[in-house]
């Protein structure tokens, strides 16, 4: 989908990003937050974008179609010295835009960003039933490192996740 631009988030995206995140948490259970837990305001979001922007080891990307934000990817590192080479990633695309290559483009951008910023390891967790996401991550070079059994509870059911990671071998 060529009309969709993938770029770093800027504070002016805050209100639209809140809207997108609220929509993502409502339309899929594959994201971490239950919709009832999402209470960020545009002000909170602008602050988060500025905070991430100030750090070399944190990234917020958005995918924009016209005036609408349709996807977001977040990657951030732990500040501890022994973990600072590693970042954790989360990705969500609005359902109307699934299957158009946007998720794959955002992952490729995140991998390129991690390499440019000396982050050797990018990791994520994904529900074992989320075959679309797993396919995207495998194609981008991520490998399954392990199974996290009953790591989540959703609507009273325990859910298993895979831990996946990509390592820069340079």
Ligand X SMILES: CC(C)(COP(=O)(O)OP(=O)(O)OC[C@H]1O[C@@H](n2cnc3c(N)ncnc32)[C@H](O)[C@@H]1OP(=O)(O)O)[C@@H](O)C(=O)NCCC(=O)NCCS
Chain positions contacting ligand X, by CB under 6 A: 28, 30-31, 91-93, 98-104, 124, 126, 130-133, 135-136
Structure tokens at 136: 């995207």
Residue 143 CB, nearest approach to ligand X (Å): 15
Q: Least distance from C-beta 107 to ligand X, angstroms?
A: 8
The residue among 18 and 20 lying less far from ligand X, judged by its C-beta, is: 20
Q: CB of 81: closest distance to ligand X in angstroms? A: 27
Nearer to ligand X by C-beta: 11 or 100? 100
- Give the Cα separation of 94 and 21 in Å (integer): 9
99 burial via Cβ count (<10 Å: 0-12, 13-18, 19+) = exposed
Q: How does DSSP assign 116-148, residue by residue?
A: HTT--EEEEEEETT-HHHHHHHHHTT-EEEEEE
CB closer to ligand X, 11 vs 134: 134
């Amino acid at each position: 989908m060529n009309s969709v631009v993938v770029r770093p988030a800027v504070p002016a995206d805050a209100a639209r990003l809140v809207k997108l995140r609220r929509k993502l948490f409502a339309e899929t259970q594959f994201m971490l937050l239950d919709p009832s837990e999402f209470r960020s305001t545009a002000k909170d979001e602008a602050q988060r974008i500025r905070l991430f922007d100030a750090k070399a080891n944190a990234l917020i990307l958005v995918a924009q179609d016209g005036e609408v934000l349709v996807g977001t990817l977040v990657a951030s590192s732990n500040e501890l010295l022994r973990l600072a080479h590693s970042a954790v990633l989360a990705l969500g695309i609005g359902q109307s835009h699934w299957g158009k290559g946007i998720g794959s483009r955002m992952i490729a951008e995140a991998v390129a960003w991690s390499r440019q910023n000396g982050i050797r390891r990018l990791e994520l967790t994904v529900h074992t039933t989320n075959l679309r996401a797993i396919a995207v991550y495998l194609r981008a070079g991520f490998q399954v490192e392990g199974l996290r059994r009953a790591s989540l509870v959703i609507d009273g059911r325990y859910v298993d996740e895979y831990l996946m990671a990509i390592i820069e071998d340079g």
